[in-house]
């Protein structure tokens, strides 16, 4: 078994299924897309507050989001931070997905406000396509474990795709488990004592 699968198995044994991406409304696909924009540079707790506000105003819909007054939108998503920027991007994204039902990664990357991490989050969680999401947690953990020494998004994503079955369900669960570990143990200042990866990690060697 390669070490990428070993890490996955250790995390899954410790934490089990994470049921990610967590959705609050019936419009799951578009809510996920909205969430990928709102979660940029903020915590999920803040995103949930913003999504709750949008849902209460019947705005988890592409046509409604395109038409809503920008000042009102800014106020509703204030909990997610950067509300001026994110309000503009939500309207751009709503127009894009209204015209593109099944976009490619290249098309997504040409949309203002969508970089590689956001594009891959949309493809994996909203469209169930096998794109591994590389975030700050992933970079931190896999450097500490000793499986990489790069911060390059493309290089890291290729490592995961090379060492794992090309399976959207696996990629989904793996990334969710990484987030769980980063929040509970592998923080900026790591708490290694009871970490599920302690035996497989080189951080304290």
pTM check: above 0.85: yes
Report whether CATH 1.10.1670.10 matches the domain 3-19+131-200: yes
> Over 70: is that where the pLDDT of 205 sits?
no
What CA dihedral angle connects 198, 199, 204 and 205, to 10 degrees? Answer: 180
* Distance, CA of 199 to CA of 197 (rounded, Å): 6
Hey, where are the domains in the chain? 3-19+131-200, 28-126
Please give the average per-residue pLDDT across 67-92, as a whole number.
98
Report the b/e string of 76-90 with b at 16+ CB within 10 A. Answer: bbbbbbebeebbebb
pLDDT of residue 204: 65
Work out the mean pLDDT of the chain and round it to a whole number. Answer: 95
Nearest to 49 by CA among 75, 21, 19, 20: 75
pLDDT of residue 203: 81
* 164 in Cβ contact with 6 (< 8 Å): no
> Over 70: is that where the pLDDT of 194 sits?
yes
pLDDT of residue 27: 87
> Over 90: is that where the pLDDT of 49 sits?
yes
Q: What fold characterizes domain 28-126?
A: Endonuclease III; domain 1 (1.10.340)
């Amino acid at each position: 078994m390669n070490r990428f699968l070993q890490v996955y198995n250790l995390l899954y044994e410790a934490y089990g299924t994470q049921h990610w991406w967590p959705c609050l409304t019936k419009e799951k696909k578009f809510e996920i897309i909205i969430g990928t924009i709102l979660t940029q540079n903020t915590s999920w707790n803040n995103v949930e507050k913003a999504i709750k506000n949008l849902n209460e105003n019947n705005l988890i819909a592409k046509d409604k989001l395109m038409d809503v007054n920008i000042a009102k939108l800014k106020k509703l998503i204030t909990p997610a931070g950067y509300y001026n920027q994110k309000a503009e991007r939500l309207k751009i994204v709503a127009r894009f997905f209204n015209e593109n039902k099944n976009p490619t990664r290249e098309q997504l990357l040409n949309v203002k406000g969508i970089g590689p991490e956001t594009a891959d989050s949309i493809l994996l969680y909203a469209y169930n396509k096998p794109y591994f999401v590389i975030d700050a947690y992933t970079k931190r953990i896999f450097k500490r474990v000793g499986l990489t020494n790069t911060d390059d998004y493309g290089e890291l994503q290729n490592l995961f795709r090379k060492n794992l079955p090309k399976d959207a369900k696996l990629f989904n669960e793996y990334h969710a488990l990484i987030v769980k570990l980063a929040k509970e143990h592998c923080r900026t200042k790591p708490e290694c004592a009871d970490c599920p990866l302690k035996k497989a990690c080189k951080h304290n060697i």
